[in-house]
């Protein structure tokens, strides 16, 4: 994999700024998103300055008061406490993960850090302490998806998290059915669920590389990772065809919140992070841009699930070519299912598919 990639290479790779400039012309410089909202399901948020939360600003980048906390009993806001105490081997802790991924998604402090989709309304949810979902956090995810749609009015669900099938248990299978029902609920209403493919092979070399759930559900948008050379950096031995699009997932400059001796330090990490968690938020931002730009046509001809499938189709027809494959275990070349790198601007300028030719995906409940 490349080292010392150019700062913010990821923004240019997906043409995010070009897309936002085009959107500003269409919707106004103040960003009238007409209700288009992303629900970001993760470890929650922190008061990082890139989010411009009140009282520092009256134009916040995220709206925590609209989110929910499914982890900390009695907590109203989805605030990440950063101090989780003991965690199990199966669910290692990732404090601040929601700040890192949410910052790349929506951070908006010019001169310090600006994410992929500045001004897009983002509602953070706290559903877990870990990016590896166990039975309870999987149930939390299902509840949060339904809540985000019914109460927060979300159009896009961003999940930089997943369940690795190799770690299945009876309790996990039960929770997965609940998650599948939530994915189906979102899909039937035309809500786009974007999820991380994961990188199990890289973190555990003796484990076969499966695309994680919910990314592997046919009704979700599964995201794989590329590096600054535009080459695949996280690939899969199994169900690779579940990856619908590839996005920047290596050496991503990101905000971070670190708890040290009782004090939270808010930084922007110039060395960057990696993982398909970051690729996911690029695609979630692209989905929101696409929904807003094509709103009139989508409202006229793309009801319910056809909206999701139209987006999936355009991810392929507008995709940029993957330059190669840098995975350490090899065996795979370039994608053969028509997938490529997300192009935010191409999604706006491209032609919407014929709604009559779109095909409904397999129901998620029971698919796992």
Q: For residue 191, is pLDDT > 50? A: yes
Which of 308, 303, 311 has the alpha carbon at shortest distance from 346? 311
Residue 1: inside a domain: no
Residue 300 counted as domain residue: yes
| Most confident by average pLDDT, 83-97, 202-216, 250-264, 275-289 | 275-289
Closest CA to 53 of 124, 155, 101, 4: 124
Q: Which residue has the higher pLDDT, 145 or 56?
A: 145
245, 339 in Cβ contact below 8 A?
yes
CA distance 282 to 53: 22
Least confident of 6-15, 188-197, 213-222: 6-15
Please report whether residue 363 resides in a domain.
Answer: no
Distance in angstroms (rounded) separating the CA atoms of residues 53 and 74: 22
Contact 277, 215 (CB under 8 A): no
- Closest by CA to 40, choosing from 149, 107, 125, 118, is 125
As a whole number, mean pLDDT of residues 247-269 equals 94
> From CA 297, how far away is CA 279, in angstroms rounded?
27
| Alpha-carbon 221 to chain mean position | 9
Q: Is residue 179 part of a domain?
A: yes
**Residues listed for the chain:** 368
- Per DSSP, the three-state class of 291 is helix
DSSP for 130-149, please give it.
SSB--HHHHHHHHHHHHHHH
Look at residue 207 in the predicted model and tell me its pLDDT: 57
* 65 within domain boundaries: yes
pLDDT of residue 89: 46
Phi-psi region of 280 (alpha: psi -120 to 50; beta: other; left: phi over 0): alpha
Q: State the residue range of the domain holding 257.
A: 9-357
Beta strands in the chain (DSSP E): 38-42, 108-109, 113-114, 122-126, 156-159, 192-196, 221-226, 231-234, 243-248, 252-260, 263-273, 324-325
Token pair for 183: 């994915």
Report the domain count for the chain: 1
- Whether 2 is covered by a domain: the verdict is no
- State yes or no: pLDDT of 362 exceeds 70: yes
* Confidence check: pLDDT of 321 > 90: yes
What pTM was estimated for this model as a whole? 0.95
The answer on pLDDT for 167 being more than 60 is: no
Cα 128 vs. chain centroid, distance in angstroms?
Answer: 15
Average pLDDT of span 340-368? 94
Question: What element of type H or E holds 103?
Answer: helix 97-106
Tens digit of each residue's pLDDT (9 = 90 or more) over 16-65: 999 999 999 988 877 789 999 999 999 999 999 999 999 888 889 999 99
Q: What is the pLDDT of residue 296?
A: 95
pLDDT band of residue 327 (cuts 50, 70, 90) is confident
- Look up the CATH number of the domain holding residue 85: 3.40.50.200
pLDDT tens digits along 264-301: 999 999 888 999 999 999 999 999 999 999 999 999 99
pLDDT at 127: 97
Reduce the DSSP state of residue 11 to 3 states and report it. helix
Confidence label for 84 from pLDDT (cuts 50, 70 and 90): confident
């Amino acid at each position: 994999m490349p080292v010392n990639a150019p700062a913010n290479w990821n923004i240019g790779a997906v043409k995010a700024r070009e897309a936002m400039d085009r959107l500003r012309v269409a919707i106004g410089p103040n960003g009238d998103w007409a209700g288009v909202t992303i629900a970001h399901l993760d470890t929650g948020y922190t008061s990082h300055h890139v989010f411009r939360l009140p009282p520092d600003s009256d134009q916040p980048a995220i709206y925590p008061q609209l989110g929910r906390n499914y982890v900390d009993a009695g907590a109203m806001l989805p605030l990440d406490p950063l101090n989780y105490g003991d965690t199990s081997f199966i669910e290692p802790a990732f404090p601040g993960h929601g700040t890192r991924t949410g910052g790349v998604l929506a951070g908006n402090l010019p001169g310090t850090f600006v994410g992929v989709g500045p001004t897009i309304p983002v509602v953070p949810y706290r559903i877990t302490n870990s990016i590896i979902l166990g039975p309870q956090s999987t149930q939390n995810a299902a509840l949060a998806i339904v809540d985000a749609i019914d109460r927060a009015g979300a159009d896009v669900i961003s999940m930089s998290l997943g369940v690795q099938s190799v770690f299945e248990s009876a309790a996990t299978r039960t929770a997965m059915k609940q998650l599948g029902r939530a994915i189906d609920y979102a899909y039937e209403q035309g809500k786009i669920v974007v999820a991380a493919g994961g990188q199990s092979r890289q973190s555990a070399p003796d484990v076969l590389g499966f695309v994680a759930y919910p990314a592997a559900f046919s009704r979700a948008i599964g995201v794989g990772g590329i590096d600054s050379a535009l080459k695949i950096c996280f690939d899969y031995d199994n169900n690779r065809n579940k990856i619908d699009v590839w996005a920047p997932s290596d050496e991503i400059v990101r905000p971070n919140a670190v708890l040290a001796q009782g004090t939270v330090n808010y930084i922007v990490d110039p060395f960057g992070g990696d993982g398909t968690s970051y690729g996911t938020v690029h695609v979630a931002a692209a989905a929101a841009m696409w929904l807003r730009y094509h709103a009139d046509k989508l409202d006229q001809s793309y009801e319910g699930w056809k909206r999701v499938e139209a987006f999936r189709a355009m991810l392929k027809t507008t995709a940029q070519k993957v330059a190669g494959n840098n995975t350490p275990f090899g065996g795979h070349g370039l994608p053969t299912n028509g997938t490529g790198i997300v192009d935010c601007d191409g999604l706006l300028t491209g032609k919407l598919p014929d709604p009559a030719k779109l095909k409904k995906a397999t129901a998620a409940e029971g698919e796992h």
